[in-house]
């Protein structure tokens, strides 16, 4: 049973924990929301995709909107934990921390493309206030962390003064986001043959990491 994936478990009606079932539905929802948007995805499609009964979605999450909120809550837990741990290492030099931040963010987005697409659209629409609230909180904690990091570097005289931390972060998020959106176009333009999913991620990570590291050196006035 360890080898069976969720779908098979469902198909054969083997017992499944409610928590896992919820997660399974959220995965399906995430996929569809990323592909077609929240409004264009119907609960019927999500139910079909997840191989569960239509009524389950209201039963588990209360409503379509609350399912979206659950999805955000789920996906954001990991994000927050990692961010908070970053600054604690006292021995790491400031730009090392920046590199870790960049590496971490790029990896997270590449691993959760679908979610970050949804997140992007939600930020544009600003319809679900609960989600906007969660996002704002996350952004603030991110900005606060990076501000601390920048101050540390400035105190150690390795970063220049007058750094616009938010512009810097927006360049990071914006660049990664755009590459996600334009993935196919980027590959095509660079004459890259169709790679395996994992190889492609690795390739994009490498490209983005070097690119952003270079940019952040300039922004922070850091010289290696």
Q: How far apart are CA 142 and CA 80, in angstroms?
A: 9
From the list its own copies, DNA, none, which binds 59 (C-beta under 5 to 8 Å, kind-based)?
Answer: DNA
Any contact of residue 208 with its own copies (CB under 8 A)? yes
Q: Of the candidates 218, 210, 221, which has an alpha carbon nearest to the alpha carbon of residue 102?
A: 210
Q: State the minimum distance, in angstroms, from the CB of residue 20 to DNA.
A: 9
Q: Which stretch binds its own copies (CB under 8 A): 15-23, 82-90, 149-157, 208-216?
A: 208-216
Q: What are the C-alpha distances in Å from 19 to residues 35, 53, 60, 181?
A: 24, 16, 10, 31
Nearer to DNA, 60 or 209 (CB): 60
Q: How far apart are CA 1 and CA 85, in angstroms?
A: 35
**Number of residues engaging its own copies in binding (CB under 8 A):** 45
Binding site for DNA (CB under 7 A): 15-16, 18, 21, 41-45, 52-60, 62-65
Nearer to its own copies, 51 or 173 (CB): 173
Q: Which of 11, 44, 133, 136 binds its own copies (CB under 8 A)?
A: 136
In sequence order, which residues have a C-beta less than 8 Å from that of residue 82 and are 6 or more positions away?
A: 104, 108
Q: How far apart are CA 147 and CA 85, in angstroms?
A: 15
User: Is the Cβ–Cβ distance between 217 and 168 less than 8 Å?
Assistant: no
| Residue ranges in contact with its own copies by CB under 8 A | 34-40, 117, 120-121, 123-127, 136, 139-140, 143, 164, 166-167, 170-171, 173-179, 181-182, 185-186, 189-190, 207-208, 211, 214-215, 217-219
């Amino acid at each position: 049973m360890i080898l069976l994936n969720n779908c098979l478990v469902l198909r054969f009606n083997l017992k499944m924990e409610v928590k896992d079932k919820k997660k399974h539905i959220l995965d399906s929802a995430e996929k569809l929301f990323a592909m077609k948007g929240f409004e264009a995805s119907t609960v019927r499609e999500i139910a079909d995709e997840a191989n569960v009964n239509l009524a389950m979605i209201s039963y588990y999450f209360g409503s379509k909107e609350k399912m979206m909120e659950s999805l955000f809550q789920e996906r954001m837990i990991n994000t927050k934990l990692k961010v908070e741990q970053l600054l604690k290492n006292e021995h790491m030099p400031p730009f090392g921390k920046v590199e870790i931040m960049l590496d971490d963010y790029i990896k997270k987005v590449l691993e959760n493309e679908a979610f970050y697409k949804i997140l992007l659209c939600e930020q544009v629409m600003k319809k679900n206030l609960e989600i906007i609230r969660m996002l704002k909180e996350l952004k603030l904690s991110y900005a606060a962390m990076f501000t601390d990091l920048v101050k540390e570097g400035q105190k150690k005289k390795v970063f220049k003064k007058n750094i616009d931390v938010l512009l810097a972060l927006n360049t990071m998020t914006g660049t990664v986001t755009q590459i996600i959106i334009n993935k196919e176009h980027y590959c095509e333009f660079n004459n890259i043959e169709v790679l395996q999913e994992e190889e492609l991620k690795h390739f994009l990570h490498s490209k983005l990491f070097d690119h952003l590291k270079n940019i952040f050196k300039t922004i922070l006035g850091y010289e290696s």
